Amino acid sequence: MNTLVLTIEGNQQDQDKIQQAAQVLKEGGTVAFPTETVYGLGANGLDPKAVKKIYEAKGRPSDNPLILHIADKEEIKPLVASIPPVAEKLIEAFWPGPLTIIFEKSSIIPKEVTGGLNTVALRMPSHPIAHWLIKETRLPIAAPSANLSGKPSPTKAEHVIQDLTGRVDIIIEGDPSQIGLESTVVDITTPIPTILRPGGITYEDLQNLLGEVNIDPGILDDLGQQYQPKSPGMKYTHYAPAAPMTMIEGPTKAVVEKINALTKEYQLQGKKVGILATVETKDDYRGDIVLSLGQRDKPQSIASNLFDLLRQFDKEKVDVILAESISSQGIGFAIINRMTKAAGHRIIHVAK
């Protein structure tokens, strides 16, 4: 397959490029495009054959449900069985934006989108290119992250080009994603709204709006292959760099000492060590490749850098990665979730 890369630069040719990409989607093709969370790989969410192309391009398991992306609130009604009051509150507060809501599905949603479940996940992106493209198609666009399944999610067009060239019809090249983590997913089909995946809309944000909010046990626990996922990112290995990664949790000084001790052990074995640090501790390490996520008191910068840095370790061909943990408050909860999955739940806890 020949993949066409279309760069959106804010000039008069952009309309033609969006129309070209929209036509490919209408005809059952695949288009990767930027969103405010990560880059997405889109296809017509009402066309089972088109949706299957997403799974094939990514190498994604078919029981891993997809999110349908829409451009207008009026597009919700045909896709869902009902719109309960809690959904209306969430839509009013957080759409367009990085929040996915899980509804009871309508009969027009193909099983290829839902992984065979009776629910459907909907999101309205705020990114102007994503909104423009979806609006032009007049279709709900099924779109997981635009990467090979299991690899770190793409936050830059170069990530998508690296992973999916020759696998998709079009890649739209825009600016890097601002949030850098996939959307928060909230299931409103449960008696109490339940977070299935943390993201840019935090637990605290949802609690302030709704009151009581549950957190699904699959978010941070490794529940194994028998787990029935209701949201992307809940069952299979995700976000993983090529080298095995281990997180180290505990007081900062103890974490630094432990990472340096492990680094020395690995280097004596002839291994190239990558260390994922923060601005405050970067200079304290002796790894072969030490990368800084950002400042601990600015977790949004850490979120936007995480996946790109994991891919940089791949470029550097490190043999192992040792990563500092951070606070789980606010968006830190989503960051820890992604790091835990990237590490395959390999975590070392250190005391003072």
Q: What CATH number is associated with residue 206?
A: 3.90.870.10
Q: Within this chain, do residues 43 and 134 fall inside the same structural domain, yes or no?
A: yes
Q: Residue 57, annotated ligand binder?
A: no
User: Which backbone phi and psi does 58 adopt, to 5 degrees?
Assistant: -85, -20
Q: Within this chain, do residues 268 and 152 fall inside the same structural domain, yes or no?
A: no
Q: Residue 147, annotated ligand binder?
A: no
Q: Residue 60, annotated ligand binder?
A: yes
Cα–Cα distance, 84 to 278 (Å, whole number): 42
Tokens representing 150 are 């299991």
Cα–Cα distance, 337 to 221 (Å, whole number): 9
| pLDDT for residue 92 is more than 50 | yes
Q: Residue 231, annotated ligand binder?
A: no
Q: Within this chain, do residues 209 and 249 fall inside the same structural domain, yes or no?
A: no
Q: Within this chain, do residues 124 and 264 fall inside the same structural domain, yes or no?
A: no
Q: Which domain holds residue 68?
A: 4-215
Q: What pLDDT shows up at residue 50?
A: 98
pLDDT tens digits, 1-24: 899 999 998 777 899 999 999 999
Cα–Cα distance, 335 to 333 (Å, whole number): 5
Q: Residue 292, annotated ligand binder?
A: no
Burial of 267 (0-12, 13-18, 19+ CB in 10 A): middle
Residue 286 neighbours by CB distance under 10 Å? 12
Tokens representing 345 are 């739940």
Q: Residue 64, annotated ligand binder?
A: yes
| pLDDT for residue 254 is more than 80 | yes
| pLDDT for residue 176 is more than 90 | yes
Residue 220 is assigned to a structural domain of this protein = no
Q: Within this chain, do residues 131 and 204 fall inside the same structural domain, yes or no?
A: yes
Q: Residue 149, annotated ligand binder?
A: no
| pLDDT for residue 221 is more than 80 | no
**CATH classification at residue 331:** 3.40.50.11030
pLDDT tens digits, 222-244: 544 444 555 555 554 568 899 99
Q: How far is CA 315 from each of CA 18, 213, 302, 318, rounded to the nearest angstrom? A: 32, 40, 20, 8
Q: Within this chain, do residues 73 and 200 fall inside the same structural domain, yes or no?
A: yes
Q: Count of domains in the chain? A: 2
Q: Which of 306, 24, 313 is nearest to 176 (CA)?
A: 306
Q: Residue 266, annotated ligand binder?
A: no
Q: What pLDDT shows up at residue 227?
A: 42
Q: Within this chain, do residues 151 and 299 fall inside the same structural domain, yes or no?
A: no
Predicted model pTM: 0.93
Q: Residue 37, annotated ligand binder?
A: yes
Residue 234 is assigned to a structural domain of this protein = no
Q: Within this chain, do residues 129 and 271 fall inside the same structural domain, yes or no?
A: no
Complete edge-to-edge strand list for the sheet that includes strand 289-292? 289-292, 273-277, 320-324, 245-249, 347-349
pLDDT tens digits, 100-123: 999 999 999 999 999 899 999 999
Cα–Cα distance, 193 to 205 (Å, whole number): 13
